[in-house]
Chain A
Amino acid sequence: MLKLEKRPQPSKAWVWLAPVVAVIATMIAGGALFALLGKDPLVAIRTIFWDPLFSEFAFFYRPQLLVKGAPLILIAIGLSLGFRAGIWNIGAEGQYIVGALTGAGVGLMFYPMEGWFIFPLMVMAGALGGWAWATIPAVLKVKFGTNEILVSLMLVYVAEQLLASMSLGLMKNPEGFGFPGSRNLQQYPSAHNAELIAGSGMHWGVVAALIAVIFAYVMLTRHILGFHIRLTGEAPRAARFAGVNPARLVLICLGLAGALAGLAGMFEVSGPAGRVSIDFNVGYGFTAIIVAFLGRLHPLGIALAGLLMALTYIGGEIAQSRLGLPAAAIQMFQGMLLFFLLAVDVMTNYRLRLTWREVA
């Protein structure tokens, strides 16, 4: 019979092998699912993973990879710091919305004035907005011992109401013929987060994501703060013994995650989305949780996982329109990815052993 046996120490090979095996298992199980739906599994898998990158229309899809990947990576990097320390911020979606609102708000405030300083101010406002929204659960946790999972999650719904109120009220375009939604920031050069190289999908948010990956990598491997974050996650009591102040760490981790999510929202509203509208948020804040774990909470892994997730989004859309696959099947496919990762993850700390003898 099969038996799981704890490894004396975590296997280094499996840490990197697990995501690869998970992706392969997802392809197999997903293929079976598509076959049951009456589609050719090979075509479906190729449509999702291959066509966005290498088909004849790839020039159109490739920039989308960066546009969709950047916010996922930016948010997931922030989340991963907290997750490593056992601080569970589930409300990145709300922080993303609030960052977009504060960022766009500053931009709209200056309309129609032009100036080089407007965009940097919007960046700062976006980060601050996200930070402030995430600091609410942090302060409540530190002061009153509330559960940050619940508070941060519930604040998502508050942020959604705030978003609706803003797009119908304060930030509504006065020249918009009564339609909900703000002015289009794409048509306001000083506030527009334009592509840095035309047609590449590369905007400031992509640059910010890249910086965040490097910053997080250096912090986790070379800096005492990163060491304390890892220590707190692995052995909270040992962390306190080492001198980590748990309350301070909660404020830092939630604050950083909020600021990065806010930045992602701000870059999105001023770039690809263009304006504040009721349906501005599309779930990046939640998908980023999957991205963070798929990337093993490691900055480089998150960068790869973010791109992979963006790929399944784009490929999923193509599969929906071209093969007529239901949206739910695509979502299930994405869910399988996390499911298989968590399952294969067992191999990092355990090994399989075949035993023929009856175990007493």
Chain B
Amino acid sequence: MTAPVLSIHGLTKAYPGVVANSDVSFDVRQGEVHALLGENGAGKSTLVKMIYGLVKPDHGSMTFQGTPYAPAEPRAARAAGVAMVFQHFSLFDALNVAENVALGMEDPPRLADLAGRIREVSETYGLPLDPFRTVGDLSAGERQRVEIIRCLLQDPRLLIMDEPTSVLTPQEVEILFQTLRKLTAEGVAILYISHKLEEIRALCDTATILRLGKKVATCTPADTTARQLAEMMVGTVLHTPERSGRALGDVALELSELSVRSPSAFGCSLKGVSLAVRQGEVLGLGGVAGNGQDELLGALSGELRSAPDMVRMHGTPVGALGPMERRRIGLLCAPEERLGHAAAPDMSLTENAMLTGSLREGLERRGFLDWTKAKGFAEAIIARFDVRTPGPGNAARSLSGGNLQKFVIGREVMQRPEVLVVNQPTWGVDASAAAAIRQALLDLAAGGTAVVVISQDLDELMEISDRFGALNEGRLSRIRPTSELNIEEIGLMMGGAHDMEVAHV
């Protein structure tokens, strides 16, 4: 066993009302990929922020390469040899790669010298990147390379990566893994945060699991099943969603050559999307974020209008109808963004139940609202979907992400949709809530609803969908039965236009 690069002893950090980390201790060894696993809110982020000098621990100590280590700010952490790749990139679209890297440096060299070093590092680690390309033109995977290279130029001993694969196609993930393996071979330690269990089993040497701010276990992921890992994270036994065999009915929703311009300058317009979903069928749509998912949901919910014939419900053209009219005929949607799109943050759950339920739940008569009935509807959603909240009078923003997600999905599910479209139904939701949401979607399909699930979580799509298609730059791939697909084929479907080549070294 190699020596620990970083040792953490009893780190504790409390915020008003919550203990984010309580007495966490573990070692990260030289040359290993160490996974940090846990649900949302388990305290992973706080822990790495303490290591990176963004947050000061209340108690506990750290040693880095044998010497006591207590960074007061990220600059001190970087000077000691700790680098971090954040989940959200901090890059300027209008500048080129070298300029972006220079901006992050304390004492940047001349741009031409820097470009040379960027080329050198990118070739050594199999991350092809032209230093003079404008960042705005790069794919998500390439932007991540910029961030990684920025870190590697500091020659770090410990590299922290926060959910690096959430924006990558499977092929891009493979490239990233090769890079990380190369780094560990040189003795760099990597602290890898993720909640994708299969990925961790494939990549990581050791895993530390956090639950509610405490360390639950340290184990070897390769020797542990994904299910065991998940159960350690959640602390309970998980139920796999069950799908019953079901007969498919008529085509409920049909898109033919749907093209819609994105309302946002940075959005992705839809280009000739065609698909058909039958009653009782679950269609999964994958794709890297920003490839037309939001626009597709908008075009289905009625927020974006198209030519009438481009969207049909049971053969009737609905492309020109607004959200209310579409709800009337049973086309319901749940957008990805919970706060501000699916729900109004400062409004109560009762008011948020009214938001989409007014029509189908009869909460409104001739324009006048029945708040008693709306409260009853909200209470029914809370009861059936196990939403943890003191009551329907609470503001939507007071709920945790997972609980609010259960509420907004439940709100649509309970309205007996003919067609239900959901975007990222389990994004940021803990494992047991995610299982409950998936089960609800499958139950709905079993009852004859046509379900469209747009998601970036491939495991989720493989688990619940009958057929699978991928969005890429606003176009939809061929739709194929899920049972005959493997992850690699899916990756190729998702990759579409922006396949990334691997440098040959």
Within 8 A of B (CB), among A210-240: 222-225, 227, 230-231, 234-235, 237-240
Contact A227 B302 (CB under 8 A): no
| B346-358 vs A, Cβ < 8 Å mask (1 yes, 0 no) | 1100010011101
Q: Does A38 contact B (CB under 8 A)?
A: no
Contacts of B355 in A (CB 8 A): 231, 238, 241-242
Q: Compute how far the CA of A237 lies from the CA of B358 in the bound complex, rounded to whole angstroms.
A: 18
Contact A241 B346 (CB under 8 A): no
Within 8 A of A (CB), among B326-366: 327, 333, 335, 337, 339-347, 351, 354-356, 358, 364
Q: Compute how far the CA of A234 lies from the CA of B324 in the bound complex, rounded to whole angstroms.
A: 19
Q: Compute how far the CA of A360 lies from the CA of B358 in the bound complex, rounded to whole angstroms.
A: 47
Contact A241 B16 (CB under 8 A): no
Contact A10 B335 (CB under 8 A): no
Q: In whole Å, how far is A272's beta carbon from the nearest beta carbon of chain B?
A: 36
Q: Does B368 contact A (CB under 8 A)?
A: yes
Q: Tell which of A8, A224, A245, A353 has the most Cβ of chain B within 10 Å.
A: A224
Q: In whole Å, how far is A73's beta carbon from the nearest beta carbon of chain B?
A: 25
Contact B367 A5 (CB under 8 A): no
Contact A224 B369 (CB under 8 A): yes
Q: Compute how far the CA of A231 lies from the CA of B394 in the bound complex, rounded to whole angstroms.
A: 16
Q: Given A9-B346, A231-B347, A360-B56, A241 and B341 touching (CB < 8 A)?
A: yes
| B18-61 vs A, Cβ < 8 Å mask (1 yes, 0 no) | 00000000000000000000000000000000000001100000
Contacts of B241 in A (CB 8 A): none
Within 8 A of B (CB), among A64-78: none
Contacts of A238 in B (CB 8 A): 340-344, 355
Q: Of A5, A8, A235, A360, which contacts B55 at CB under 8 A?
A: A360
Contacts of A239 in B (CB 8 A): 344
Q: Compute how far the CA of A243 lies from the CA of B331 in the bound complex, rounded to whole angstroms.
A: 13
Contacts of B340 in A (CB 8 A): 235, 237-238
Contact A224 B367 (CB under 8 A): yes
Contacts of A231 in B (CB 8 A): 344, 347, 355
Q: Closest chain B residue to A9 by CB distance?
A: B395
Contacts of B323 in A (CB 8 A): 240-243
Contacts of A235 in B (CB 8 A): 339-341, 343-347
Q: Does B301 contact A (CB under 8 A)?
A: yes
Q: Given A231-B355, A241-B301, A241-B335, A10 and B346 touching (CB < 8 A)?
A: yes
Contact B395 A234 (CB under 8 A): no
Contacts of A225 in B (CB 8 A): 367
Q: In whole Å, how far is A6's beta carbon from the nearest beta carbon of chain B?
A: 9
Q: Compute how far the CA of A238 lies from the CA of B356 in the bound complex, rounded to whole angstroms.
A: 10
Q: Compute how far the CA of A235 lies from the CA of B71 in the bound complex, rounded to whole angstroms.
A: 40
Q: Given A8-B398, A9-B398, A227 and B16 touching (CB < 8 A)?
A: no
Q: Tell which of A8, A224, A238, A245 has the most Cβ of chain B within 10 Å.
A: A238
Q: Compute how far the CA of A216 lies from the CA of B339 in the bound complex, rounded to whole angstroms.
A: 28
Q: Given A231-B355, A237-B340, A245-B322, A9 and B369 touching (CB < 8 A)?
A: no
Q: In whole Å, how far is B341's beta carbon from the nearest beta carbon of chain A?
A: 5
Contacts of A243 in B (CB 8 A): 302, 322-324, 327
Q: Does B498 contact A (CB under 8 A)?
A: no
Contact B346 A237 (CB under 8 A): no
Q: Compute how far the CA of A21 lies from the CA of B364 in the bound complex, rounded to whole angstroms.
A: 38
Q: Does B397 contact A (CB under 8 A)?
A: yes
Contacts of B327 in A (CB 8 A): 243
Contact A234 B341 (CB under 8 A): no
Contacts of A10 in B (CB 8 A): 346, 395
Q: Compute how far the CA of A239 lies from the CA of B341 in the bound complex, rounded to whole angstroms.
A: 8
Within 8 A of B (CB), among A4-18: 5, 8-10
Q: In whole Å, how far is B454's beta carbon from the nearest beta carbon of chain A?
A: 15
Q: Compute how far the CA of A314 lies from the CA of B19 in the bound complex, rounded to whole angstroms.
A: 56
Contacts of B333 in A (CB 8 A): 241
Q: Tell which of A8, A235, A240, A245 has the most Cβ of chain B within 10 Å.
A: A235
Q: In whole Å, how far is B295's beta carbon from the nearest beta carbon of chain A?
A: 14
Contact B368 A223 (CB under 8 A): yes
Contact A5 B16 (CB under 8 A): yes
Q: Compute how far the CA of A9 lies from the CA of B335 in the bound complex, rounded to whole angstroms.
A: 23
Q: In whole Å, how far is B311's beta carbon from the nearest beta carbon of chain A?
A: 16
Q: Of A223, A234, A237, A360, which contacts B367 at CB under 8 A?
A: A223
Contacts of A8 in B (CB 8 A): 395, 397-398
Contact A234 B345 (CB under 8 A): yes
Q: Does B303 contact A (CB under 8 A)?
A: yes
Q: Compute how far the CA of A224 lies from the CA of B364 in the bound complex, rounded to whole angstroms.
A: 8
Q: In whole Å, how far is A347's beta carbon from the nearest beta carbon of chain B?
A: 15
Q: Compute how far the CA of A107 lies from the CA of B356 in the bound complex, rounded to whole angstroms.
A: 48
Q: Of A222, A223, A234, which contacts B347 at CB under 8 A?
A: A234
Q: Closest chain B residue to A238 by CB distance?
A: B344
Q: Compute how far the CA of A10 lies from the CA of B343 in the bound complex, rounded to whole angstroms.
A: 16
Q: Closest chain B residue to A5 by CB distance?
A: B16
Contacts of B345 in A (CB 8 A): 234-235
Contacts of A227 in B (CB 8 A): 351, 354, 369
Q: Compute how far the CA of A353 lies from the CA of B56 in the bound complex, rounded to whole angstroms.
A: 20
Contact B343 A223 (CB under 8 A): no
Contact B358 A9 (CB under 8 A): no
Q: Tell which of A224, A230, A234, A243 has the most Cβ of chain B within 10 Å.
A: A243
| A250-277 vs B, Cβ < 8 Å mask (1 yes, 0 no) | 0000000000000000000000000000
Q: Compute how far the CA of A222 lies from the CA of B16 in the bound complex, rounded to whole angstroms.
A: 38
Q: Compute how far the CA of A224 lies from the CA of B351 in the bound complex, rounded to whole angstroms.
A: 11
Q: In whole Å, how far is B71's beta carbon from the nearest beta carbon of chain A?
A: 11
| B60-79 vs A, Cβ < 8 Å mask (1 yes, 0 no) | 00000000000000000000
Q: Given A224-B369, A360-B55, A9 and B394 touching (CB < 8 A)?
A: yes
Known A241-B301, A241-B342, A360-B55; further 16 A-B contacts with Cβ < 8 A = A8-B395, A9-B394, A9-B397, A224-B358, A227-B351, A230-B347, A231-B344, A234-B346, A235-B345, A238-B340, A238-B342, A238-B343, A241-B341, A242-B324, A243-B302, A243-B322
List of 6 A-B pairs having minimum Cβ-Cβ separation, nearest first: A360-B56, A243-B324, A243-B323, A9-B395, A235-B344, A8-B398
13 A-B pairs with CB atoms under 8 Å apart are A5-B16, A10-B346, A223-B367, A223-B369, A231-B344, A235-B341, A237-B341, A238-B342, A241-B323, A242-B323, A242-B324, A242-B356, A243-B322
